[in-house]
Amino acid sequence: MIPNMNIKILTLAVTTVAAFSLVLQSAHAAVYWNGSVSSDWAETSNWSGGLPSTSGAGDAIINPGSPNVKPVISTPVAATVGQTYVSIGAGLQVTTGGSLTTVSLITGIWGHSDVVDVSGGSLTISNNLLLGYSGYDGKMNISGGTVTANNLSINMGGGAKMNLGGSGAFIAPVSNLGNINYWIANNAIIAGNGASGWSVNVDTTSNAGNVVLTAVPEPSVSLLAVGGALGCCFLRSRRKSASFQD
């Protein structure tokens, strides 16, 4: 029996509130990104208070660095001790070859944040991925690599959303499926930056116990691309045939 939509929305709200209530509960001193030397996440001098992976470290607060706004993870780095917060105007980038494991990742903390951009490698979140804390904007773009989280929450009030593209994939336990379907239906999870001809593929079979989200072209787009390629081949063959006749 299909649940009433009001029950779905209430369940979603309770889940989101419960997840966001976990924010800012670390008992240790936070470390702060300053980006004073480079964009390298693993460079100690780019952090105030030590690296997020140092024993005894608190949560990692990503502030807009100067002159390097976004920390970049292009190699495997040690797991953070606490949670990771993406603050006002700040962002995070994971590229091919990079990997990071963190307890929770929260965007839009204290104000609108920049994009968390995953173009390769892997970002593993052992607890909660919270996009758009307290109604602020805090988007995530996954164009390559894999983002894995135990629980996903998207606060749509400030425009927070997840975009899938290219070969990027998001993986979460299948217990997230009901909320994921809600966010897809309400354009909080999109594919191809919301362009027509793209959709979010929801796969619950290839990875046992998990749901895998990817971006896929709709059949009409695929057929159009194939038709265009065949048309070009046909025209080239006609030109060759004509040149032989001349």
pLDDT digits (tens, 9 = 90+) for 58-81: 999 999 988 887 999 999 999 999
Tokens of 156: 């749509």
Predicted TM-score of the model (pTM): 0.81
Band (pLDDT 50/70/90 cuts) for residue 236 is low
**What is the C-alpha separation between 151 and 173, in angstroms, rounded?**
7
Name the residue with tokens 């052992």: 126
Domain boundaries, the chain: 5-220
Ramachandran angles phi, psi of 225, nearest 5°: -65, -45
Per-residue pLDDT at 213 exceeds 50? yes
- Give 91's Cβ-side CA count (13 Å radius): 16
Chain mean position to CA 117:
7
